[in-house]
Structure 1
Amino acid sequence: MSKSVLVIDTPENCYDCPFGTSYCGELEYEGYCELADCLDYDVILMTEEHYDYESKSRPDWCPLKLLPEKKSTTAPVSNYEVQKNLFADGWNACLREITKTSDENER
């Protein structure tokens, strides 16, 4: 089966996430991760610590993964460094294609 990628701005917390929804539980509102449910994760309920608009974190089990950092290139002195630069150029081109950016400093 082929794979797909959905590129979104990474939310700071579950409250800001487009996949986080709330519903009224027995005693209070509870956060629910629709994406985790679709991916059959064991944990889909978000605690108040993460499902709060003032929260600065996401749970460890969050299915959203950050894109890797760009690779840096160096002035080649040996064949090894030339190969390393070619790998970095390809890596960075792939990240530019995923994020649709052309600026070297953007992710």
Structure 2
Amino acid sequence: MSKSVLVMKTPEKGCISCPIGRCYIESFIYCPITGRCESDKEAETIPDWCPLKPLPKKKKVTGIYNGEYFKAGGKLPSYKIGWNDCINAITGGHADD
């Protein structure tokens, strides 16, 4: 089965402010992706079981790339540039929005 990605702003107030969640019963929020319900009090934070995961941060591409850097497990600049290009492709170049 192929996979898909939905890029959206992370809800600031947990399930209550999530555009995916639905008001299922008065004082409960229903997540149609997981089939789980949260009470209003619990829905003010993002639960551990939430399928929304934050994007990884972009890599810093500055510094000195010498032998010691690579011995310590540092990545090649081309790896970091490729990483950042991938994040840009996912977000349309707006990873910080």
Q: 1:70 aligns with which of 30, 39, 58?
A: 58
1:48-67 equivalences under 5 Å are: 48-51=40-43, 55=44, 57-67=45-55
Amino acid at match of 2:28: E
Structure 1 stretches lacking a partner, 5+ long = 38-43
Query: Which residue type is aligned with residue 7 of structure 1?
Result: V
Distance change in 2, residues 1:70/1:98 (3 Å): same
CA distance in 2, matches of 1:106, 1:96: 10
- Structure 2: any 5+ residue segments left out of the alignment? none
TM-score (normalised: structure 2): 0.77
TM-score of the superposed pair, with normalisation by structure 1: 0.71
The structure 1 residue matched to 2:93, chosen from 85, 101, 106, is: 101
Write out per-residue CA displacement over residues 40-66 of structure 1, whole angstroms, 9 at most, x where no aligned residue: xxxx11122233xxx3x2111111000
Separation (CA, whole Å) in 2 of partners of 1:106 and 1:23: 32
Shift of 1:68: 0.5
Identity score, percent: 39
Distance 1:10 1:63 in 2: 11
Q: Deviations over 1:6-49 (max 9, x none)?
A: 1011112111111111123xxx4321111112xxxxxx111222
- Identify the residue that residue 82 of structure 2 maps to in structure 1: 90
Measured on the aligned residues, the alpha-carbon RMSD in Å equals 2.4
Runs of 4+ aligned residues of structure 1 deviating over 6 Å after TM superposition are: none
